[in-house]
Amino acid sequence: MRLQKAMAQEDPDLNEVARIASADVAMSATLLKAANGPLYSAGQPVQTIGQAMNRLGLKQTANLMTGFLAQRAIRISSPQLARFWERATKRAAAMAFMAGKLPGMSADVAYTFGLFCHAGIAVMAQSIKGYTGTLVEALARVDRPFVATENANHKTDHAVVGALVARTFCLHPLVVSAIRLHHDLSSLGDSTIDSDVHTLLAAGLVAEQLMRRHEGMEPDVDWETFSEAAMKWLEMSQDDLNLWQDELNEILNAV
């Protein structure tokens, strides 16, 4: 909440962000590692938080800190979710990349949506008895959507829980809405929903497909069903998808 408050100022308090980053050795190490990584490294390695912030930029610094804090707050113990935060970080990176391709899309909002999109899964695994079994079942079933299995077994789903998590973390209202709807893709284009939410939903579906391609996985059911609508909303073509895949692979490899 301190970080969100600092970043919400019209002129963000750089010193406050630096103090938050420096308060935890592991978080400081995360920023230094990123600043010296293949995506940002240039010239001499950075050695201080201030140097890392200068190289990364304030917004990317805040994004990395938000991801670090989220991982600390939402612990993963289930073996079925061993790569949860790795994939969340990849999704966030893919969303930020796409924001650079889509006019008017905020890279910060896109990154945050990608990071927290499936946070409800981690929270349910942590707090609901029998959820890991539901997770295995939901991934295996092809006769109904993932959230339908969750609702059948627990009377709620990770989209609902994830939206509550996002609200608790004081995330942007667009992120809260998009998380709530990210498995309700039939709503794409609904005039009662903010167009920026539609853009996040469509971009999220494309980002997931780009990740799955990068990992050598088959398209999921949502992509098979809603890809045409999503790409139409984003006004992108198959050629765009292929080009973005080539450009994004290096970023995902770095993650």
Confidence of residue 193 (pLDDT cuts 50, 70, 90): very high
pLDDT of residue 42 exceeding 80 = no
What is the per-residue pLDDT for 203?
A: 97
Q: What is the C-alpha to C-alpha distance for residues 41 and 45, in angstroms, rounded to an integer?
A: 7
Amino acid at 90: K
Q: What is the C-alpha to C-alpha distance for residues 46 and 59, in angstroms, rounded to an integer?
A: 18
Q: What is the pLDDT of residues 146-163, one digit of tens each?
A: 999 999 999 999 999 999
Burial letters for 108-147: b for 16+ Cβ neighbours within 10 Å, e otherwise?
bbbbbbbbbbbbbbbbbbeeeeebbebbeebeeeeeebbb
Among candidates 102, 26, 99, 97, which has minimal Cα distance to 67? Answer: 26
pLDDT of residue 143 exceeding 90 = no
Confidence of residue 144 (pLDDT cuts 50, 70, 90): confident
What is the per-residue pLDDT for 82?
A: 85
What is the per-residue pLDDT for 161?
A: 97
What is the per-residue pLDDT for 98?
A: 94
pLDDT of residue 43 exceeding 80 = no
Q: Is 109 helix (H, G, I), strand (E, B) or coil?
A: helix
pLDDT of residue 231 exceeding 90 = yes
CATH match of 76-254 with 1.10.3210.10: yes
What is the per-residue pLDDT for 73?
A: 87
Burial tier of 39 (Cβ tally within 10 Å: 0-12, 13-18, 19+): middle
Contacts of 12 (CB under 8 A, 6+ apart): 6, 58
Within the chain, all domains assigned CATH 1.10.3210.10 are found at 76-254
What is the per-residue pLDDT for 19?
A: 92
Cβ atoms within 10 Å, residue 176? 22
pLDDT of residue 30 exceeding 80 = yes
| Mean pLDDT (whole number) for 225-253 | 93
